[in-house]
Amino acid sequence: MTLAARVGPLLPEHVVGRIAQLLYPRYEPELAHLDDYLPRGCRTAVDIGGWYGPWSRRLASRARDVVTIEPVPHLARTLRRITPPNVRVVQAATSDRPGTARLWFPEGDAGTRGLSSLIRRDLHTHGVDVSCVPLDDLELRDVDFIKIDVDGSELATLTGASRTLARDRPALLIELEARIQPTAPIIDLLAGHGYAGWVLPETTWLPLRDFDLTTHQEATSHVASHGLLRRALPFPGPRYVNSVLFLPEGRRPSPARLPTATLRPHG
């Protein structure tokens, strides 16, 4: 268990939320580069897997409305207290159909570590029943951006958002982990919707087609075991890329920052 995982439960949840907000742009540089792909005048942004709200808070300053979906009961309550007034919190897990499912946690955890999932893995020992909702059933309008961090439920989440994707063509930022499940079905599904992927291994965005995500994650898997604090501080070493930006074909992230030639990253 990481230092943050041991200390986090001892702190007031609003303090944990503030720490997450401060550290997350270093832990996930894609958040620091939000302006590269978030449409100007963003109308509705959706944060699926809100945790302590680092994405929700940043999005709230750039979007008219934010809808945060978080299935862990105590985290949903915390988000309602600590997020700005233009954030609406939905206590549920996203899926392809409404109903109830078991949300699984690692031993000694109740959601604080951000490792809960509807897909039970070896690290999960106990769980709680939660409501499930397809994103389409929320009947949102003018959705310009969706961030998805659901630890294995990506296909069900995207299937339940198919009408929203077809109608609004939002930018998507999806956490993909080859160690949890194959990423190809998700990439293929989005290609069928007319989306292309981009990754940020260093300081410029690269087309996903030129970046072997699975090989990269296998080579840097040791970094994935490091906690939030260890990965947020500027220690030397490789970065573990697990967030993929998907944009409708024809759109590019921050064109001025793109390399003039496509470079294949090492490792």
Q: What is the pLDDT of residues 139-178, one digit of tens each?
A: 999 999 999 999 999 999 999 999 999 999 999 999 999 9
Q: Give the rounded percent of residues in the chain with a pLDDT score beyond 70.
A: 80
Burial tier of 264 (Cβ tally within 10 Å: 0-12, 13-18, 19+): exposed
Residue 21 has pLDDT above 90, yes or no: no
Give the pLDDT score at 27.
67
Burial of 246 per CB tally in 10 Å (0-12, 13-18, 19+) = buried
Q: 13 pLDDT exceeds 80?
A: no
Check whether 228 has a pLDDT greater than 80: no
Q: Does a structural domain hold residue 267?
A: no
Write out the two tokens for 81: 């207290």
Do 65 and 45 meet the contact criterion of CB atoms below 8 Å apart?
A: yes
* Residue 101 within a domain: no
Q: What is the pLDDT of residues 88-130, one digit of tens each?
A: 999 999 999 999 999 999 998 888 888 899 999 999 999 999 9
Q: Would residue 117 count as lying in a domain?
A: no
Confidence of residue 233 (pLDDT cuts 50, 70, 90): low
pLDDT higher than 90, residue 245 = yes
Tokens of 161: 């958002």
Q: Is residue 178 part of a domain?
A: yes
pLDDT score recorded for residue 236:
54
Q: Which two tokens stand for residue 36?
A: 């590269």
Indicate whether 113 belongs to any domain: no
**Does any domain span residue 266?**
no
The tens digit of pLDDT for each residue in 32-72 reads 899 999 998 999 999 999 999 999 999 999 999 999 999 99
Q: Which of 12-21, 193-202, 215-224, 257-266 has the highest mean pLDDT?
A: 193-202
Is residue 3 over pLDDT 50?
A: no
Q: Which residue has the higher pLDDT, 51 or 13?
A: 51
Q: Which residues contact 235 (CB under 8 A, 6 or more apart)?
A: none
Domain that residue 197 falls in: 3-91+140-251
Domain-located, residue 174: yes
Examine the pLDDT at 262 and tell me if it is beyond 80.
no
Within a domain: residue 147? yes
Check residue 109 and give its pLDDT.
87
User: Is residue 48 helix, strand or coil?
Assistant: strand
Core vs surface per residue 133-152: b (16+ CB within 10 A) or e: bbbbbbebeebbbbbbbbbb
Cite the DSSP H helix spans in 71-171.
73-82, 154-159, 162-168
Contacts of 163 (CB under 8 A, 6+ apart): 136
When divided into structural domains, the chain yields a total of 1
For the entire predicted model, the pTM comes to: 0.85
CATH number at residue 170: 3.40.50.150
